[in-house]
Amino acid sequence: MQSSYNSIDTIVAIATPSGTGGVGVVRVSGRDLTRFCVGILGSEIASRKATYTHFRAADGECLDMGIALYFPGPASFTGESVLELQGHGGIVVLDRLVQRCIQLGARHARPGEFTERAFLHGKIDLTQAEAVADLIESSSVQAARSALRSMQGDFAQVVNTIIKKLIDTRVYVEAAIDFPEEEVDFLAEPVLIQWLDELARSIDQVTADARQGVLLRDGLSVVLAGKPNVGKSSLLNRLLGEERAIVTDEAGTTRDVLKHRIVFEGVPIQFIDTAGLRDTDSAIEREGIRRAWLEIDTADHILLIADASEASRPHLNEAWPEYFMQYPEKTHRVSQVFNKIDCSDDAPGLQRDGSTVCVSAKYSLGIQELLSFLVAQAGYIERGEGIFSARRRHLLALADARGYVQAGRAQLDRYGSGELLAEDLRMAQKKLEEIGGAVTSDDLLGHIFSSFCIGK
């Protein structure tokens, strides 16, 4: 059990959103809640049955009337005893109930503390705990579905299956090392290489699925960049489906960075409109351009917009290739968009080179194609089934595990070394176990749960 965790504390929080509502729920979790039942409800109540009752102050004053639910531990969400008071959803009413619980010895719950306790009591693993927050925060039906799948343990199960395979392989390798006097060289058996390849393949598969989940959760950021007047702001408005940015035929209109989000096929996309890149004497515009470069530096994808109707259609602007050469890893994030094709003879949509998209912001041509292109570029494959919500930390752990399996296989291949392979497999297992939280640091747990809302 974690050192930061004190199972004797009873915690309380309002579980419903702050503000007023038809119903408000106060949730209490702790080892023994008899005192709370007697103190507030007047007596103990039947387990897991809705009881309509008074909620009372110390002097017997009625604070509210509502439904009380009692879940004796460990058969509860947190694994402790849980008392839920469902009263009227008023700020003062609910606060008074919380104060009453504090009077009886509870303390305010930290964000995510109920879920953290569920994790610490082994009710759920870390992927499921994270999925609880992801479900609450999901911004599309697809994201909600995938979070629900992770919450039900689908992701954990896939990872655990790989861990099991990994353990079997380790047992085999360790036995081969421990009994070198056996006649057969077990390390040279083809079945071992076969297992290692299967492990690598399974990790690749779950990584591909997890990457979809990360996209649904985190989405991507896309910068609209280019010279003044090529139609960046017009395109932003068209992509958003509403007039957010000021459009004029005057060069240098946009100075501030504008950020707006849409959800396309379940993937949240944040579009960032920027000042046109050019040399200018205006100090305000120069600041806008400086900020534009900052966005270009950090975005997931950059759309370099050019005017299709210009006589000498610039391919990548003169300064840009040089700029991106400094960051070779970034060039794959850049795509060319030709706007104003109503004034040229280009066909709308993705061009044959696979990285240029032609649009007309003014006449709404090629816009859907541009959006599809962006999510496809990010690696999103829309499919109804099989995606589970995941986070970047899962992808990192999977990549590390994959690296160790790969390295171990190379050691075996090159040097026939069982010892080095065994060590790599041990590390791979450790990385995979980090995903479910079997090995974690207090830092990581604190980081994960502090991003939850209070009362969850």
Q: Is 335 exposed, middle or buried (0-12, 13-18, 19+ CB in 10 A)?
A: buried
Q: Report the nearest approach of ligand GDP to the CB of residue 372 (Å).
A: 19
Residue 304 binds ligand GDP (CB under 6 A): no
Q: Report the nearest approach of ligand GDP to the CB of residue 255 (Å).
A: 11
Residue 198 binds ligand GDP (CB under 6 A): no
The Cα 22–Cα 328 span in angstroms is 56
Residue 233 binds ligand GDP (CB under 6 A): yes
Q: Judged by CB under 6 A, how many residues of this single chain contact ligand GDP? A: 20
118 close to 47: Cβ distance less than 8 angstroms: no
Enumerate helices (H) and strands (E) in the chain, giving the number of each.
Answer: 14, 13
Q: Residue 96: which of Mg ion, ligand GDP, none does it interact with, CB under 5 to 8 A by kind?
A: none
The total number of residues written for the chain in this structure: 456
Q: Residue 342: which of Mg ion, ligand GDP, none does it interact with, CB under 5 to 8 A by kind?
A: ligand GDP
Sheet harboring 349-350: ordered strands across? 258-264, 267-273, 220-226, 301-307, 334-339, 356-358, 349-350
Residue 237 binds Mg ion (CB under 5 A): no
- Taking CB under 5 A as the criterion, the residue among 233, 317, 336, 429 binding Mg ion is 233
Give 166 or 299: the residue with its C-beta nearer to ligand GDP. Answer: 299
Residue 337 binds ligand GDP (CB under 6 A): no
Sheet harboring 107-108: ordered strands across? 51-56, 62-71, 81-89, 21-30, 11-14, 107-108
Strands 267-273 and 220-226 turn out to be: parallel
Residue 86 binds Mg ion (CB under 5 A): no
The Cα 237–Cα 359 span in angstroms is 13
Among 65-73, 249-257, 295-303, 420-428, which window interacts with ligand GDP (CB under 6 A)? Answer: 249-257
Q: Report the nearest approach of ligand GDP to the CB of residue 318 (Å).
A: 17
| Residue given tokens 């990010």 in the structure block | 378
Across 31-105, where does the E strand assignment appear? Answer: 51-56, 62-71, 81-89
- Taking CB under 6 A as the criterion, the residue among 232, 391, 431, 456 binding ligand GDP is 232
Which residues within the stretch 274-303 sit at the binding site for ligand GDP (CB under 6 A)? 276
Q: Report the nearest approach of ligand GDP to the CB of residue 366 (Å).
A: 10
Residue 248 binds ligand GDP (CB under 6 A): yes
Q: Report the nearest approach of ligand GDP to the CB of residue 340 (Å).
A: 4
Gyration radius from the chain CA atoms? 29
Q: Report the nearest approach of ligand GDP to the CB of residue 304 (Å).
A: 12
DSSP state of 73: T
Give 280 or 417: the residue with its C-beta nearer to Mg ion. Answer: 280
> In Å, what is the CA distance from 372 to each residue of 295, 299, 350, 368, 381?
22, 18, 10, 6, 10
Pick from 23, 66, 82, 4: nearest CA to 446: 4
Q: Report the nearest approach of Mg ion to the CB of residue 299 (Å).
A: 17
Among 102-110, 245-253, 319-327, 348-356, which window interacts with ligand GDP (CB under 6 A)? Answer: 245-253
Which residues within the stretch 341-400 sit at the binding site for ligand GDP (CB under 6 A)? 342-343, 360-362
Residue 213 parent element (H or E): helix 190-218
- Taking CB under 5 A as the criterion, the residue among 212, 254, 356, 411 binding Mg ion is 254
Among 25-33, 41-49, 226-234, 376-384, which window interacts with ligand GDP (CB under 6 A)? Answer: 226-234
Give 161 or 248: the residue with its C-beta nearer to ligand GDP. Answer: 248
Chain residues binding ligand GDP by CB under 6 A are 228-234, 247-249, 253-254, 276, 339-340, 342-343, 360-362
